[in-house]
Amino acid sequence: MSDESLTLPDLAGERVRLREWRETDVAVVQEASRDALIPLVTTVPQTAGEVEALAFIRRQHDRLPSGAGYAFAVADLEDRAVGHIGLFAAGDARASVGYWIAASQRRRGYAADALIALTSWAIRREHLDRLELYVEPSNQGSCRVAERAGFEREGLLRAWKRVGGRPRDMYMYARLTERARAAAADASG
Ligand SMILES: CC(C)(COP(=O)(O)OP(=O)(O)OC[C@H]1O[C@@H](n2cnc3c(N)ncnc32)[C@H](O)[C@@H]1OP(=O)(O)O)[C@@H](O)C(=O)NCCC(=O)NCCS
């Protein structure tokens, strides 16, 4: 993803901080490996071994230099990692967002706060016009997280992605960046 900097920013929300993954965060990756959904829809390993979890953390450090995008640990206000959020290149001036919070840390507002912090930063990136995320219709928590961060549901993508080997429908949510909104206002005015 081309941008002005190859340094991962530190982003502050009200309840979380988005920061670089550290090897000391390994336990939260191991917890995520035991989740029924997270390993099916992310690159979190399917087994909860420490070696695999550390390899996951090292892969996150490659995301920015390789041009894939920005991968952050979501940390609570005591700096303990509770989950993950990433912004990844999706072609042209689009980027897609993905996130998860470890099961023991849910329903505390962490995902919504993390997405709000990431979005507030990303909508000011000059090289982006559009942020997207895909949510299974049954994932009410994630739909709510998206809406809390100002994403709008644009439609249902049928059989968009295989999850656990089965085709699944996904809602497409999107939020335009400031640059794209300004361009749209210029074109209509
Ligand atoms: C979806 C997920 C990220 C939500 O994380 P979270 O930290 O528990 O979410 P928050 O605490 O920020 O909740 C935000 C809102 O969603 C609601 N919510 C969260 N989980 C919910 C659930 N399972 N059912 C209904 N509402 C839910 C909260 O009540 C809150 O609502 P409010 O804004 O009205 O107060 C988390 O459950 C998760 O990681 N799931 C597995 C992976 C996943 O689904 N990732 C997203 C893929 S698109």
Residues forming a β-bridge with 11: 18
The full 3-state SS of 97-112, as one line of letters, equals: EEEEECHHHCCCCHHH
Question: What are 91's two structure tokens?
Answer: 């072609």
What is the pTM assigned to this prediction?
0.97
* Pocket test residue of 18, 101, 148 for ligand 1, highest count of atoms within 8 A of CB: 101
Find the residues whose C-beta lies inside 6 A of ligand 1: 37-38, 99-101, 106-112, 135, 139-142, 144-145, 148
CA dist., res. 162 & res. 136, Å (int) = 11
- pLDDT per residue over 38-90, tens digit each? 999 999 999 999 999 999 999 999 999 999 999 999 999 999 999 999 999 99
What value does the mean pLDDT of the chain take? 96
CA dist., res. 87 & res. 168, Å (int) = 22
- pLDDT per residue over 82-97, tens digit each? 999 999 999 999 999 9
CA dist., res. 80 & res. 76, Å (int) = 5
Q: Is the CB of residue 88 less than 8 Å from the CB of residue 63?
A: yes
Q: Tell me the C-alpha to C-alpha distance, in Å, between residue 99 and each of 83, 126, 178, 181.
A: 7, 23, 22, 25
Please say if the pLDDT value at position 4 is more than 70: no
Please state the φ and ψ torsions of residue 51, each to the nearest 5 degrees.
-60, -45
Which atom belonging to ligand 1 lies closest to the Cα atom of 148? 33
pLDDT for res 2: 62
Residue nearest to atom 24 of ligand 1 (CA): 141
- The number of residues making up the chain comes to 189
Q: Is the CB of residue 72 less than 8 Å from the CB of residue 86?
A: yes
> Helix (H, G, I), strand (E, B), or coil: what is residue 155?
strand
Q: Measured in angstroms, how far is the CA atom of residue 182 from the centroid of ligand 1?
A: 31
pLDDT for res 6: 82
Residue type, 8: L
The CATH number given to 11-188 is 3.40.630.30
